[in-house]
Amino acid sequence: MEIFGVINASPDSLANFSVVSNEEEAKKYGATLLAQGADHLDIGAQASHGDAAFVTSNQEWEIVEGPLKGLVSLGVDVAIDTWQVETARRALDAGARVLNAADALQSEEMIELAATREIQVVLPFMLGPDPRHLKHIEGDPVQVMVDWFDLQLERAERWGIRDRLVLDPGTGFAPPHWDWEERFKYQKAIYSGLSRLRRFELPIYVPIAWKQTPDRLELVDLVLAQEVEYVRAHIPEQIRQRHTAIREGKPLPTSEIWEGYD
């Protein structure tokens, strides 16, 4: 399992401990995440929660340009997390090697960009035009997700990029202002059905919760036990520890929370 350590350039991020504002801060924090067990790094400048302010692509690039430069200087693969195609293009030109396509490649411009670059692309499950405007899911959420990927992967095949895709169940997003109890049930259903994505014979990438509660750690362990290829995590050291414990047959208690992440 490989870990994308999370750095946020958006001041709206709820994970304020991960926010950086310039090149040097990003380089220092990125190096810390790598020392704690991350293999790669992921950065974005537009928060996706329901109360986040919208930024234009020019504003987004102004926010992320310096921090991205700092991360690229560390010599590891850096993912640009964005749903705006111009931000993605500028970031790839500046050295990002992975596109975390937060619009789920739904625009012709974004999938065309992905097709013209030799990059890995994270494709998240998403019902809606972008992370700020998502629809509620009716029925079995896993079947809805599988059916959605069926259609999207047919489209990706036509663009010649299917083999470069990594599948994200989209649990980092949810319709705005879901309460946690509803989100927990949804995520548990999705994570319990991750094996159904194996039919597509593509790597699986899961965004891991950073808030420290027993039910969130239950979800973390559910993902780690399925040996997905990639996770996106704010606290890589904790994820490494829990993954090792699961592999050794001695899962850590879900009450073993880390202080300072709330």
Q: What is the pLDDT of residue 129?
A: 73
Q: Is the pLDDT of residue 47 over 70?
A: no
Domain carrying residue 162: 2-247
| Tokens of residue 135, six digits | 């629809």
Residue 168 identity (one-letter amino acid): D
Q: What is the pLDDT of residues 53-110, one digit of tens each?
A: 677 889 999 999 999 999 999 999 999 999 999 999 999 999 999 999 999 999 999 9
Average pLDDT taken over every residue of the chain: 92
Q: What is the pLDDT of residues 6-36, one digit of tens each?
A: 999 987 676 788 899 999 999 999 999 999 9
Whole-angstrom Cα distance, residue 21 to residue 65?
10
Contacts of 132 (CB under 8 A, 6+ apart): 48, 50, 52, 54, 176
179 in any annotated domain: yes
Q: What is the pLDDT of residue 49?
A: 45
Q: Do 121 and 98 meet the contact criterion of CB atoms below 8 Å apart? A: yes
Q: Do 248 and 225 meet the contact criterion of CB atoms below 8 Å apart? A: no
Higher pLDDT among residues 224 and 131, named by residue: 224
259 in any annotated domain: no
Secondary-structure breakdown of the chain: helix, strand, coil percentages, each rounded to the nearest 5: 45, 15, 40
What's the alpha-carbon Rg for the chain, to the nearest Å?
Answer: 17
Q: What is the pLDDT of residue 103?
A: 92
- Tell which phi-psi region holds residue 163, choosing left (phi > 0), alpha (psi between -120 and 50) or beta: alpha
Give the strand order in the sheet containing 78-82. 165-168, 120-124, 98-101, 78-82, 40-44, 2-8, 230-233, 205-207
Q: Is the pLDDT of residue 230 over 50?
A: yes
Contacts of 156 (CB under 8 A, 6+ apart): 105, 111, 123, 162, 165
189 in any annotated domain: yes
60 in any annotated domain: yes
Question: pTM of the entire structure?
Answer: 0.94
Q: Do 254 and 235 meet the contact criterion of CB atoms below 8 Å apart? A: no
Task: Name which of 119, 111, 122 is nearest 44 in CA terms.
Answer: 122
Q: What is the pLDDT of residue 149?
A: 97
Whole-angstrom Cα distance, residue 262 to residue 252?
20
CATH at residue 111: 3.20.20.20
pLDDT band for position 239 (cuts 50, 70, 90) = very high
150 in any annotated domain: yes
Domain count, the chain: 1
112 in any annotated domain: yes
Per DSSP, what are the bridge partners of residue 82?
101
Whole-angstrom Cα distance, residue 54 to residue 249?
45
Q: What is the pLDDT of residues 162-201, one digit of tens each?
A: 999 999 999 887 666 778 898 899 999 999 999 999 999 9
Neighbour-count burial of 255, counting CB atoms closer than 10 A to its CB (0-12 exposed, 13-18 middle, 19+ buried): exposed
158 in any annotated domain: yes
Q: Do 169 and 206 meet the contact criterion of CB atoms below 8 Å apart? A: yes
Q: What is the pLDDT of residue 194?
A: 96
Task: Name which of 8, 10, 49 is nearest 29 in CA terms.
Answer: 8
Q: What is the pLDDT of residues 130-167, one digit of tens each?
A: 766 677 777 899 999 999 999 999 999 999 999 999 99
Q: Do 102 and 130 meet the contact criterion of CB atoms below 8 Å apart? A: yes
261 in any annotated domain: no
